[in-house]
Amino acid sequence: MKEELLKSWKSRSRENIKKYKIFLNRIDKAKAIRILPVLHQEAFKKINCLDCAACCKNYSPRFKQQDIKRIAKSLNMKERDFELTYLVSDEDHDFVLQSKPCPFLEKDNKCQIYDVRPSDCHRFPYTDEDVFIKQPALTLMNASFCPAVNEVLEKLMEIK
């Protein structure tokens, strides 16, 4: 991703957050959900997550029990030790990271546990899923730090 694209999405997101909110509340949800996979593919032809990694720096995924088991095993840790070392329970009683940025984020923005990462990380930023349309609050939050979310929202708004 070019540096200017990375800078421009941040300002676009701040400028357009109200517009995005209104749009997501009025959109034809069924039509939008059908087109999301195409827009997702187009966005990721332009955007390389390794240029940004804002999700890993600003967001904690939920760690489901299957995630904890899989990741702990790959790190040769007991599940409980993994939980105590890396996780806390949030207000929804979900396990999330104790700290930001993610402790598994390497200096080159690669993920130390990429092959066994949590399902939330695997699915993020949900730009090819119905969650993108059905949970506008989540989409708007993600738009505040993910250029791919902004790109998909902008393209959706062009189509209407």
The phi, psi pair for 107, rounded to 5°, reads -60, -30
Looking at residue 5, its pLDDT comes to: 62
For residue 106, what is the DSSP state? -
Residue 32 CB partners (closer than 8 Å, separation 6+): 133, 156
Contact 62, 120 (CB under 8 A): yes
pLDDT in tens, 8-30: 666 666 778 889 999 999 999 99
User: What is the model's pLDDT at position 159?
Assistant: 87
For helices 136-143 and 3-26, the axis angle rounded to 10 degrees is 160
> Residue 82, CB half-sphere, CA atoms under 13 Å: how many?
20
Bridge partners of 18, per DSSP, are none
92-121 pLDDT, tens digit each? 999 999 999 999 999 999 999 999 999 999
Q: Residue 9 has what pLDDT?
A: 66
Give the count of beta carbons closer than 10 Å to the beta carbon of residue 114. Answer: 11
d(CA 73, CA 33): 36
Residue 4 has pLDDT above 70, yes or no: no
Reported pTM: 0.86
pLDDT in tens, 109-158: 999 999 999 999 999 999 999 999 999 999 999 998 899 999 999 999 99
What's the average model confidence in pLDDT over 37-54?
95
